[in-house]
Amino acid sequence: MLQDRRGSGTARATKFKVEAGGSFEDLPRDRNGAAIISDPRNDENLIISGLQTAFLLFHNRAVDVIRANDRLASPIETFHRARQLTTWHYQWLIVHEFLPRFVGQELVDDIVKHGRRFYRPVRSQIPVEFQGAAYRFGHSLVRPSYRANMTGGADGGQLFLMTFDSTQEGKADPDDLRGGCRAPRRFVGWQTFFDFGAIPRSGGLAGTLGEDVRSNKRIDTRISTPLFDLPIGTIATGEPPTALPQRNLLRQVTWQIPSGQSIAREMGVPSLATSDFQELREYALGLDGSTPLWLYILKEAELMADGRHLGPVGGRIVGEVVLGLLQLDHQSYLHVPRWRPTLPTTTGRITGDFRTIDFLTFAGVDPSSRRQ
- Tens digit of each residue's pLDDT (9 = 90 or more) over 294-307: 999 999 999 999 99
What pLDDT does residue 204 have? 66
Integer CA distances (angstroms), 42 to 10, 35, 36, 45, 46, in order:
23, 9, 10, 8, 9
Strand partners, 208: 200
What pLDDT does residue 12 have? 53
What pLDDT does residue 202 have? 74
- How far is 30 from 18, CA to CA, in rounded Å? 12
The 3 state secondary structure assigned to the chain is: CEECCCCCCHHHCCEECCEECCCCEECCECCCCCECCCCHHHHCEHHHHHHHHHHHHHHHHHHHHHHHHCCCCCHHHHHHHHHHHHHHHHHHHHHHHHHHHHHCHHHHHHHHHHCCCCCCCCCCCCCHHHHCCHHHHHHHHCCCEEEEECCCCHHHCCEEEECCCHHHCCCCCCCECECCCCCCCCCCCHHHCCCCCCCECCCCCCCEHHHCCCCCCCCCCCCCHHHHCCCHHHCCCCCCCCCHHHHHHHHHHHCCCCCHHHHHHHHCCCCCCHHHHHHHHCCCCCCCCCCCHHHHHHHHHHHHCCCCCCCHHHHHHHHHHHHHHHHHCCCCHHHCCCCCCCCCCCCCCCCCCCCHHHHHHHHCCCHHHHCC
Rounded to the nearest 10 degrees, what angle do helices 293-304 and 260-267 cross at? 60
Residue 275 has pLDDT above 60, yes or no: yes
- Model confidence at 237, pLDDT cuts 50, 70, 90, reads confident
What pLDDT does residue 10 have? 43
Integer CA distances (angstroms), 2 to 9, 37, 152, 213, in order:
9, 11, 29, 34
- Domain extents in the chain: 2-123+329-370, 141-181+216-324
Residues 48-58 have pLDDT tens digits of: 999 999 999 99
Q: Identify whether the C-beta of residue 26 lies closer than 8 Å to the C-beta of residue 183.
A: no
Residue 238 has pLDDT above 90, yes or no: no
What pLDDT does residue 234 have? 86
| Mean pLDDT, all residues of the chain | 93
Q: Identify whether the C-beta of residue 190 lies closer than 8 Å to the C-beta of residue 364.
A: no
Integer CA distances (angstroms), 245 to 42, 103, 292, 336, 338, in order:
20, 22, 11, 41, 42
What pLDDT does residue 7 have? 46
What pLDDT does residue 3 have? 56
Residue 9 has pLDDT above 50, yes or no: no
What pLDDT does residue 200 have? 80
What pLDDT does residue 235 have? 87
Residues 337-364 have pLDDT tens digits of: 999 999 999 999 999 999 999 999 999 9
What pLDDT does residue 47 have? 97
pTM: 0.93
Query: What is the mean predicted confidence (pLDDT) over 292-319?
Result: 98
Residue 11 has pLDDT above 80, yes or no: no
